[in-house]
Structure formats: structure tokens, C-alpha cells
Amino acid sequence: MFRFGFKLLVVFSLVMLAACSRHWREGDPGITDEELQPKVMEALQLAANQADAERFKQLFSDQNATVFYAESGSAMGPAQNVTAMYSWDFLSGQGAQSFAPETIEKSRVIFIDIPYEDRIQNAILFDITVGGQHIVKIYFNDKNSTDVEPTFFDNGEFVSQMSSSDGSHILLRSFDTDDDVLQSVIQLEVYTWDVDGTELLNGKVTTLVGFEP
């Protein structure tokens, strides 16, 4: 079941940062709300794990979902600007370890945020093109064995612990929030961990623009 009638959110967001300074973040996704669903379906067809793709599709169809979208091209700039990563090793298992970040030809990121009454559901899809080949991987914020919620707000910062079906993990952070709700235009920092369990900033998705039901 697919969902129609997405609406592009206002592309200007007043952001409160940790230092209590304010600035405006703006973005143009380069697509209309009518083009969003075909773009998402296109990316899902390229996913190596179709079980993950089907689950992502179900979340995309949720009537409460806000879908944030970013894609390299004329509107948002080259892939290295859209997805400014130091490393793509977190896509390991999908052939991503054999190239340098500067060799990426295209990139697309789709992030789903669904705030339920008792929890927040998140999913993120990375789709990059290298040497004409797509590498697609999906992460979900599934709750692990601890009592800590995988997604929460901490003094105005959005934090989401994400895992993939192959057992890899990333952490997403953003200060583009207002009263514990993500703004309509956000930046997501992507963290991984070293062998000692210390968080390492791996890069960021510089601008994602939200579409609401």
C-alpha cells in the first residue's frame, strides 16, 4: 500500500544550536511532492536486502511519517556536498570499502521520522553511485537489549541509534529541532565507533528537506 498526497514542508527553519545561537537553514530537494514516491520506490528496488526494502516501504506508507530527502544534482550540488563523509566503511558488506569518498558520482539519502505517542520510529536509506554501480543500505532504530530508547532528545539535540540487518551500527545526531520535534529542514551528523567504543564523527548529510503527509 502506497501513500499519496505528500506536502513539501517550508524550506526555511529557524534553528537553535547548542551554543544558543540562531540561524536559518534552507534547502531545495530538487523534486516536487509528486515526484517523491517514485524516487523512493526507485531507491528501494536497488537495495541488496529486499526484506529491509519492504520494511522501509511500509514505514514510508505510514500516515504519520515525515520523509526527509536529499539527492545530489543541480539543486543540492555534487555528491560530496550532499553526503560529506570521511569514510563509507559503514556501508561495508555492500562493496563500499574499495573506494574513496571523492570518487562518488551520485548520492541520495532518505530519512523517515515517525513520532508515535510512546516511541519514535526512524529509518534511513543511503544510495550512492560509484563506477556506475549503486550501493544501497538501510538502517532502522530497532531497540537493543538495553533499556535506553534508540531515539531521544537530549537538551535540544536529536539522537538516534541505528542498526542494519548485517549487524552494523551508526549514530545520527541533529540540533535542527524545536520543542523536541525535528525542523522541516535538517542536517544529520553520522557517527561510528572505534575499537574502544568511542564515538567518531564520520561525516554528515548536509541538508535534508522534509515532506509531510
Q: Return mean pLDDT, the chain.
A: 86
Residue at 13 is within a domain:
no
pLDDT value at residue 147: 61
Residue 166 lies in a domain: yes
Q: Is residue 92 part of a domain?
A: yes
* Distance in angstroms (rounded) separating the CA atoms of residues 21 and 198: 28
Tell whether 149 is covered by a domain: yes
**Residue 155 forms part of a structural domain:** yes
Q: How many CB atoms lie within 10 A of CB 92?
A: 14
Range of the domain at 141: 23-212
Task: Tell me what pLDDT residue 74 has.
Answer: 76
Give the residue among 35, 8, 13, 53 at the shortest CA–CA distance from 213: 8
The pLDDT assigned to 9 comes to 55
The one-character DSSP state at 10 is P
> Which parts of the chain have pLDDT scores under 50?
1-4, 10-23
- Count the domains in the chain: 1
Distance of alpha carbon 51 from alpha carbon 29, whole angstroms: 27
Q: Full-prediction pTM beyond 0.85? A: yes
Residue 150 falls inside a structural domain = yes
What is the grid cell recorded at 146? 538495553
Model confidence over 134-153: pLDDT tens digits?
A: 999 999 998 765 566 899 99
Answer whether residue 5 is part of any domain.
no
Beta bridge partners of 211: 8, 67
Q: What proportion of the chain, given as a percentage, has pLDDT over 70?
A: 83
Alpha-carbon span 96 to 68, nearest angstrom: 23
What pLDDT score was predicted for residue 99? 75
CATH code for the domain in which residue 93 is found? 2.40.160
With a CB cutoff of 8 Å and minimum separation 6, the contacts of 148 are 161
47 within some domain: yes
pLDDT at position 159: 96
